[in-house]
Amino acid sequence: MTHQEIKTAYERDGYVAVRDIIDVRDLAPIRDFIKAKVDAYSRELYSEGKLSSRYEDEPFERRYAAICQELDILPRNWNFGAFGLEFYDLYNLPGVLSVLRLLLGPEVSNIGTPALRTKLPGSVITSFPWHQDSQYLDQGTIGKKEKHTGHLHMVTVWVPLVEATIENGCCWVIPGSHRWGLLDGARGADSNVRMEADVEARGTPVPIPLKPGGALFMSNLCVHTSKVNMTQESRWSIDFRYFPTPDRADLTVAQHKAAEFVQNKALAGGRVPLIVLTKEHKPTWEEWEAQVLEQRRK
Q: Give contact residues for ligand AKG (rule: CB under 6 A).
A: 115, 117, 119, 128, 133, 156, 158, 169, 171, 224, 226, 237, 239
* Residue 57 CB, nearest approach to ligand AKG (Å): 27
Q: Using CB atoms within 10 A of its CB, is residue 247 exposed (0-12), middle (13-18) or buried (19+)?
A: exposed
Output the smallest distance, CB 227 to ligand AKG, in A. 8
CB 219 within 8 A of CB 175: no
C-beta of 16 vs 51, nearer to ligand AKG: 16
Whichever of 224 and 248 has its CB closer to ligand AKG, that residue is: 224
* Dihedral over alpha carbons 97, 103, 106, 109 (to 10 degrees): -60
Residue type, 58: E
Strand 15-18 to 215-219 pairing: antiparallel
- In contact, 260 and 246? CB cutoff 8 Å: yes
Q: What number of other Cβ atoms are within 10 A of residue 230's Cβ?
A: 12
DSSP label at residue 270: T
From the CB of 165, what's the least distance to ligand AKG, in Å? 12
CB of 170 to ligand AKG, least distance (A): 8
Smallest distance from the beta carbon of 278 to ligand AKG, in angstroms? Answer: 25
Residue closer to ligand AKG by CB (options 24, 124) is 124
The residue among 107, 113, 162, 156 whose CA lies nearest residue 131 is 156
- Measured distance CA(91)–CA(105) in Å, rounded: 16
Q: Among residues 154 and 251, whose Cβ is nearest to ligand AKG?
A: 154
Residue nearest to ligand AKG (CB): 226
3-state secondary structure 7-33: HHHHHHHCEEEECCCCCHHHHHHHHHH
Closest CB 279 distance from ligand AKG, rounded Å: 29
Residue with Cβ nearer ligand AKG (55 or 243)? 243
Kindly tell me which of 219 and 255 has the beta carbon lying closer to ligand AKG: 219
